[in-house]
Chains A and B, each alone.
Chain A
């Protein structure tokens, strides 16, 4: 007999209402896309939590390395000129 299989792992992202971000929920197992969508629905939307679902094979996810967090994210910490509050507006200017 073939070695046992519990099918492939898929990551599940769900949108709770139209227009909202898709948020990671966890994973499920399935052998194809259709099954993955159905299993994601039955696992993560039993209480009407979802309006739309994405599934992605777990092995296709690329993730940043925590050791690189400094190089990845710190350089953007001091770019305060990207924030609207950085700028001084002339007194009396409206709608800006």
Chain B
């Protein structure tokens, strides 16, 4: 009985110390004590973030071999490579919490781990590559900038690096849109079509309204999250509207208008029914994206096994030599 109470109070003391640290804005390192719920929350969020980067390679990869110029192909490849790299930084950071990359991939394949909903939409014309860079990465950056100050240090370090590298992503996307809007009638049509299809899903990327957001309370208390979904969404809208106007793209929201008293844009109702439908598997590309990842993973198994086998053989050789 005494023992139980001792561990209880020890646990409570550790928690109090931990919360004192996070409240003071101090960073948490992998070997520091942390509550199990904090670790779980981070693993969930960071692996989802890593998987999003990796799955996000697919819709853009869809246009790599059809990019319309050498410059365009170069930029697109470099950008997709960055997404892969960012996936790696995040897997690497998540591994410091005691989960392996194998386990994270297994959770992705079983459906236990999610990835960003946005990548369940298809890229149907070249302007979609512009829209992804400008809108999807634009939305992601707003979120990621905020995460640079997240309390878990390896996550924060990864985000600092990612934000630095992402800065060209949004610009290249906007450039594609701008060039197409200055181009032929067909190009303008493609650009507007992409805008119409990607605008609303981009707004959904910030997640449900604050009143309906399930994981938020602890995330705020422990400084994993520092801004609410609605705050970040508003920030994204406010900076994007002007950019659309400059290149004469129409934002597909008849209710969008400047609110003088609030000094920000009012916007129309987001179709949350669609959001939850896609999250629960019924988006245009959910199955395709997951099938692709599982197929590639399986097809690569013999390569990884061969590398391990070679390593063991070399080890045995050097032991025999000694």
User: Is there a contact between chains A and B in the complex with CB atoms less than 8 Å apart?
Assistant: yes
In the complex the two chains form, is A7's CB within 8 Å of B88's CB?
no
In the complex the two chains form, is B31's CB within 8 Å of A28's CB?
no
Which of B89, B158, B307 makes the CB contact (< 8 A) with A32?
B307
Chain A interface size range? 20 to 34
Interface positions, chain B 111-165, Cβ under 8 Å from A, are 154, 157-158, 161, 165
Q: For the complex, give the distance between the alpha carbons of A90 and B160 in Å.
A: 48
State the Cβ distance, A8 to closest chain B Cβ, in Å: 8
Q: Which residues of chain B have C-beta atoms less than 8 A from A60's C-beta?
A: none
Q: Which residues of chain A have C-beta atoms less than 8 A from B95's C-beta?
A: 9, 27
In the complex the two chains form, is B102's CB within 8 Å of A65's CB?
no
In the complex the two chains form, is B307's CB within 8 Å of A35's CB?
yes
In the complex the two chains form, is B85's CB within 8 Å of A29's CB?
no
Query: B189-197, B250-258, B308-316: which one contacts chain A?
Result: B308-316
- Which chain A residue has the least Cβ–Cβ distance from B311? A31
Q: For the complex, give the distance between the alpha carbons of A52 and B157 in Å.
A: 21
In the complex the two chains form, is A6's CB within 8 Å of B305's CB?
no
Interface positions, chain A 59-82, Cβ under 8 Å from B, are 63, 65-66
State the Cβ distance, B251 to closest chain A Cβ, in Å: 33
Instruction: Tell me, yes or no, whether A47 is within 8 Å of chain B by CB.
Output: yes
Candidate in B29, B31, B92 with the most chain A CB atoms within 10 angstroms? B92
Tally B residues with Cβ within 8 Å of A: 31
In the complex the two chains form, is B31's CB within 8 Å of A66's CB?
yes
- Which chain A residue has the least Cβ–Cβ distance from B306? A31
Instruction: Tell me, yes or no, whether A94 is within 8 Å of chain B by CB.
Output: no
State the Cβ distance, B124 to closest chain A Cβ, in Å: 29
Instruction: Tell me, yes or no, whether B219 is within 8 Å of chain A by CB.
Output: no
- Which chain A residue has the least Cβ–Cβ distance from B307? A31
Q: Which residues of chain A have C-beta atoms less than 8 A from B161's C-beta?
A: 26
In the complex the two chains form, is B305's CB within 8 Å of A7's CB?
no
Q: Which residues of chain B have C-beta atoms less than 8 A from A47's C-beta?
A: 165
Q: For the complex, give the distance between the alpha carbons of A35 and B304 in Å.
A: 12
- 14 A-B contacts (beta carbon < 8 Å): A1-B301, A4-B304, A5-B305, A5-B308, A6-B105, A7-B308, A9-B92, A26-B154, A31-B311, A32-B307, A32-B310, A43-B85, A46-B78, A63-B31
Given A2-B308, A26-B157, A32-B314, 11 more pairs with CB closer than 8 A = A4-B301, A6-B101, A6-B102, A7-B308, A9-B95, A9-B101, A26-B93, A26-B161, A31-B308, A32-B310, A32-B311
